[in-house]
Amino acid sequence: MIEIKKTERNLNQLPSLALIVPCYNESETIAFCSEKLNEILELLIHKKKIAQTSYILFVDDGSKDSTWEDIKQLSLKCNKIWGLKLSGNRGQQTAMIAGLVFVDVDINITIDADLQDNIACIEQMVEKYLQGAEIVYGVRNDRSNDHFLKRFTAHTFYSVMNYLGVNQIPNHSEFRLLSKYVTQCFLKYTEKNIYIRGIISSTGFKTDKVYYSRKKRFAGETKYSFWKLINLAIEAITSFSVIPLRIISFLGIFTCIFSVFAMIYSLLSKLYDIAIPGWTSTTLSIFFLCGVQLLSLGVIGEYIGKIYIEVKNRPRYFIEEMIKNKS
């Protein structure tokens, strides 16, 4: 019997690596970022861990500043720098997907342009891949560099996701290595409302982790406001679970049971003549029930909105320009 493993690798050849960097208004960071990532690539090539054909792919997510011009300039100076320009701002996740679709390499690593993630881990990630892992997660071992609000929202988000049964790696953002085969599997998920971290961890291939402490941004500022983070969390939850809809049903059942008791109570109080015409209780219950109903409609609306987006099946992004260099 011939056993064929889908994830089999060609051991006679060094793996080619692409570092995928989504960028949105990163003109302040891009030069330093490309210099540092290039150093790492050269080091790994020198150590014979990756192929000479490896490169860095900057995906410009419709920046409004000079990011794309900077990428072009950098690519003229160094043939290891490639670029992809999306026609508009589609968000970090879509920019990463555009990069994953574009690259044709044995392994890719996604990393932010601000180098908050420890680039020294790239070598460890490649080593873990060479030892057999198909996915290697960069995991933060502390959150001391985050402000209170971000720590709190992150903690609540992971707890909710965990409760909803979404299996994901806590304290892992988008710093991650994927093998070619896992990338191909991931790209089979064609839904528009996609939460990459959740999907990757649900694919079930052999994984490993590298731990690091996340630094502060060395320049520029975060592209994630509080509301953008909340939106991301709602997207993630509703793209993975219908439990919020079930919670609404339970809420409805409990409210009905409660109202039966309330009805019995009010009938008895009428019968025994102890009914006090209560304005407060009436208004309170109206407010409460209106709130519950509006919230429930909102949750249902979220899901209907998702169906609407998926049914339209619009393209995720358009590529305006690309730079491919020969290695």
Residues within the interface to ligand UDP (CB under 6 A): 22-24, 26, 61, 89, 91-92, 95, 112-114, 116, 222-224
Q: Which is nearer to ligand UDP, 19 or 199 (CB)?
A: 19
Closest approach of Cβ 213 to ligand UDP, in Å?
Answer: 14
Q: Which is nearer to ligand UDP, 243 or 323 (CB)?
A: 323
Name residue, tokens 């070619």.
180
Maximal CA-CA distance, the chain: 92
Interacting span for Mg ion (CB under 5 A) from 112-120, 205-213, 275-283, 288-296: 112-120
Closest approach of Cβ 78 to ligand UDP, in Å?
Answer: 19
Name residue, tokens 């000479």.
52
Closest approach of Cβ 183 to ligand UDP, in Å?
Answer: 18
Closest approach of Cβ 135 to Mg ion, in Å?
Answer: 22
Judge contact between 298 and 63, C-beta under 8 A.
Answer: no
Q: Which is nearer to ligand UDP, 133 or 210 (CB)?
A: 210
- Alpha-carbon Rg for the chain, nearest whole angstrom, is 25
CA distances from residue 142 to 68, 146, 171, 174 in whole angstroms, order as listed: 33, 9, 8, 16
Closest approach of Cβ 297 to Mg ion, in Å?
Answer: 35
Q: Which residue is nearest to ligand UDP (CB)?
A: 222
Q: Which is nearer to Mg ion, 27 or 116 (CB)?
A: 116
Regarding 25 and contact with Mg ion (CB under 5 A), the answer is: no
In the structure encoding, which two tokens stand for residue 169, read together? 């790696």
Regarding 116 and contact with Mg ion (CB under 5 A), the answer is: yes
Q: Which residue is nearest to Mg ion (CB)?
A: 114
Q: Which is nearer to Mg ion, 106 or 174 (CB)?
A: 174
- Cα separation of 196 and 202, whole Å? 10
**Residue whose C-alpha is closest to residue 96's, from 187, 223, 230:** 187
Closest approach of Cβ 223 to ligand UDP, in Å?
Answer: 3
- Cα separation of 135 and 122, whole Å? 13
Judge contact between 118 and 213, C-beta under 8 A.
Answer: yes
What binding mask, one character per residue, do residues 71-110 give for Mg ion by CB under 5 A, x or -?
A: ----------------------------------------
Closest approach of Cβ 229 to Mg ion, in Å?
Answer: 12
Q: Which is nearer to Mg ion, 52 or 141 (CB)?
A: 141
Which entry of Mg ion, ligand UDP, none binds 24, CB below 5 to 8 A by partner kind? ligand UDP
Q: Which is nearer to ligand UDP, 59 or 178 (CB)?
A: 59
Closest approach of Cβ 181 to ligand UDP, in Å?
Answer: 25
Q: Which is nearer to ligand UDP, 150 or 206 (CB)?
A: 150
Binding residues for Mg ion, rule: CB under 5 A, are 112, 114, 116
